[in-house]
Chain A
Amino acid sequence: MSEKKTLPSFAVLQLSGCAGCEVSLINASEWVDKYQLVYMPLVVSTHTVPDDTEILLVSGGVRNDEDVYNLRRSTELVDQVIAVGTCAISGGVANLGDRDEVRAMFTAQDNRHHLPHLLPKSHPVDAFVDVDLYLPGCPPTPELFMAALSGPQDYQAGSTVCVECGREKLKEMRPKHLLGFQQGEVTPDICLINQGYLCVGSSTRGGCRAICTIPGHPCVGCRGPSNAYIEKESQVWFDRVQKVFERLTDIPPDEINRALHSPQLSLFLFQFADYLDGGRPPRLKEKVL
């Protein structure tokens, strides 16, 4: 038949997420004439993944029993599984719900008639199925989506966000306290750490082209740990961020330590959310784009 049939096919399974990953994929419009999109409820009215699909992108975390079922069923039908976005990779922002103070409020919602049954916490995809490639980011940029689809071998990126950011690190501009995230003016071209912002771009994997830090907002680490830390436990990462601050600022180590360990801090969501309970083996860096 038409040429369309011979294009490689991919499907997108949306679990519990915000659809930001899908929006980013739609932004990567170059796939339109290179791939055949066979399933993606956000944009296509088909209700199941066809069983000869080559690539399955999974976005969103596993939040309810229907997610588990759809995930298991769909991954059986495809050749390759790519987990996209922080939610699919670590459970994502919904991990904030995994605290005693709020868990009960959440599970109290689970008394509704024939609606999917809520799991007590949000899980990453690889808690249930094998994943061939991880595409971190909240969401991954269109460029990263294209790299994941067409094979990551040709993809080039800086090792960390710092490398891609280009703000200059100064030895002589040493703040004494953290400004937090947003308070105060941002000086162009100078490292946000020198200005007292809690930026973790120094240990976050590159690839996003530093889209937050260049306009002046600290990196919250949505791409997750860089290759230097991804296979290690979270303490190594904490120590490293701490060292960077010691080198560039006079902020008391205690203050930084406290800020980094706040369980509600957004950067926590992205870096080590699911490593915290210690149960999960780290992902191999070869499998992470």
Chain B
Amino acid sequence: MTTLRFPLSRIEGHARVEMEVLDGQVKTAQFQAIELRGFRFFMIGTPAEQMPVIVPRICGVCSTAHHVASVKALEDVYQVTPPELASKIREVLLLGQLIQNQATSLFIFTMPDRVGASSLFHMDQDEANAEQQLSLAQRSLKIRQIGTDLITLAGGQFIHPIKAVIGGVTSGIKREAADGMLKALDEMLPVACHLFDTYWDMSISMKERIGTWGDDQPAFYIASTGRSHPSFNSDEIRVLGPDGTERASFPPRLFRSYLEYDETEYSYAGQSSYQGQVMRANSLARVNLALSMGTPLADEYLQKLTHTFGKPAHPILLFDLCRGIELVYAFERAIELLSKDLDYEDTAIPYTPHDGEGYGLVEAPRGPLIHHYKVKDGLIEDVEFIIPTVHNMLAIERALKVAGERYITPAGIDLELEKAVGRVVRAFDPCIACATQ
């Protein structure tokens, strides 16, 4: 038996892939998350109302999703419904996260794969291209920055937001600040589209070089997005079958009736399934589960995708293209929201803390995220984090095995395999800090 070990980079957190090969056949492909900090243990005993400040530290990439899920879980415990203004501001916050994340995944994590470079900052050693290179890096970072600015505007602290509070938000968004943000969004939207076009072309060239958009089987899809158009401040999870029919829809408190969860001894991250079936979460799942994007430019891109790949679309490199579609959507939707008044009085509704149990759901960039708290004497008695990357774990391993089979034959191991491992993993954009907590 030969064991191949692939260290991973350009993903969030510490992980590696191991494949066992016997006589040119891939026996196993394991995705190993190698870090553990233990939030699900050490959060026990925390004063409940502090959770929204502490849990963003589970992950600096997905912090906004944790912040909002936490507030929603406590609102479920205390039976308080935030005012409309608060929901809108939380949506802006989640859109900021989406822009930041999708821009990072597209331009920093996966674009280098398309041109065979080690990073966005080292894409070309050639002097002649250096300038163009720098401009590409700078434009990519500027687009990403728009996401950060939105998070700061709607969330206060720029990485670990603080503005969502139980019952609402601490403050609205002043007209002047909203106008400044609108100006930046308007200015950068065409730049984002242009970069995404470049990315799409690069992806086609890569596909031509390697000969596939991904040859793994179709799978189930899970997301908490809306039926007619995307939704991130969500309240219901849905599952789509490989044939495109909806198989289930349920509120977060019923997740155990639909999802199975297992732990393995080779990873600090667990794995979940839809009743034993491999499922996929993240951009491709959302795009497959919603009828349209609901904004003009994003819908044009969606049509282009559907035209070529149908719906539901299955090849895994489409995760990356769907991230681009969502990037454009998030710009357009943020423009819509900020054009309206977000600075009226009604920011929060008072509540009385009491003991109980609650579930908070949001659609994080990587899929549906649930926080589940039990509160006793004002302290967290028990806590569960149901993490999108964990929903993708079986799908990642299956796709890795398929990639292994493509590049490993009795004649030998094709050097392309290492790159393929990176491409497969990054298509799912896993987050290890979240998956292990």
Residue ranges of A at the interface with B (Cβ–Cβ < 8 Å) = 2, 4, 14, 16-24, 26-27, 29, 32-33, 37, 41-47, 63-64, 66, 92-94, 96-97, 99, 101-102, 105-106, 109, 111-116, 118, 122, 138-139, 141, 180-186, 188, 211-212, 214-217, 220, 262, 264-266, 269
Contacts and interface: CB of A to CB of B under 8 A. Distances in A.
Given A43-B10, A212-B157, A116 B35 contact: yes
B37 interface: yes
Contacts of B37: 16, 63, 93-94, 97, 122
Contacts of A183: 49, 166, 350-351, 353
Contacts of B267: 112, 115
A45 B118 contact: yes
Interface string B123-147: 0010100100010011001101100
Contact of B104 (A26, A47, A96, A269): A26
B42 A96 contact: yes
Contact of A37 (B32, B109, B121): B121
Contacts of A97: 37-38, 41-42
Nearest to B104: A26
Given A102-B41, A216-B170, A18 B57 contact: yes
B50 A216 contact: no
A37 B9 CA distance: 15
B12 A20 contact: no
A101 B121 contact: no
B162 interface: yes
Chain A to chain B: the 10 pairs with minimum beta-carbon distance, closest first: A20-B60, A216-B170, A217-B162, A44-B119, A97-B42, A96-B42, A215-B156, A29-B141, A182-B165, A41-B9
Interface string B94-108: 000000100010001
Interface of B: 7-14, 32, 34-38, 41-47, 49-50, 52-54, 56-61, 63, 100, 104, 108-109, 112, 118-122, 125, 127, 130, 134, 137-138, 141-142, 144-145, 148, 152, 156-160, 162-163, 165-166, 170-171, 265-268, 347-348, 350-351, 353, 379, 422, 433
A264 B50 contact: yes
Given A18-B57, A112-B265, A102 B42 contact: yes
A221 to B, nearest CB: 11
Given A20-B57, A29-B145, A45-B422, A184 B138 contact: no
A217 to B, nearest CB: 4
Contacts of A185: 347-348
Contacts of A118: 36
Nearest to B434: A18
Nearest to A219: B162
12 contacts: A20-B56, A20-B57, A24-B158, A27-B158, A43-B108, A63-B35, A97-B41, A109-B36, A116-B35, A180-B49, A185-B348, A215-B170
A21 B60 contact: yes
A22 B347 CA distance: 32
B156 A217 contact: yes
B119 A116 contact: no
Which label, helix, strand, loop or mixed, suits the secondary structure of the A interface? loop
A144 to B, nearest CB: 12
Contacts of A32: 121, 134, 137-138, 141
Nearest to B418: A45
A115 B32 contact: yes
A93 B53 CA distance: 11
Contact of B144 (A16, A26, A214): A26
Nearest to A198: B50
Contacts of A116: 34-35
Given A29-B138, A94-B42, A211 B157 contact: yes
Given A20-B60, A23-B159, A101-B44, 20 more contacts: A16-B14, A16-B37, A18-B433, A19-B13, A20-B57, A21-B60, A24-B159, A29-B138, A37-B121, A42-B9, A43-B108, A63-B37, A99-B42, A102-B42, A113-B265, A180-B47, A212-B162, A217-B163, A264-B45, A266-B46
A255 B37 CA distance: 32
Contacts of B122: 44
A114 B32 CA distance: 10
Which of B37, B47, B138 has the most chain A CB atoms closer than 10 A to its own CB?
B37
B137 to A, nearest CB: 6
A211 to B, nearest CB: 5
A1 B34 CA distance: 39
A93 B57 contact: yes
A186 B53 contact: no
A269 B118 contact: no
B42 A184 contact: no
Contacts of B43: 96
A188 B46 CA distance: 28
Contact of A19 (B50, B60, B125): B60
A22 B60 contact: yes
B149 to A, nearest CB: 9
A128 B172 CA distance: 45
Contacts of A138: 57, 160
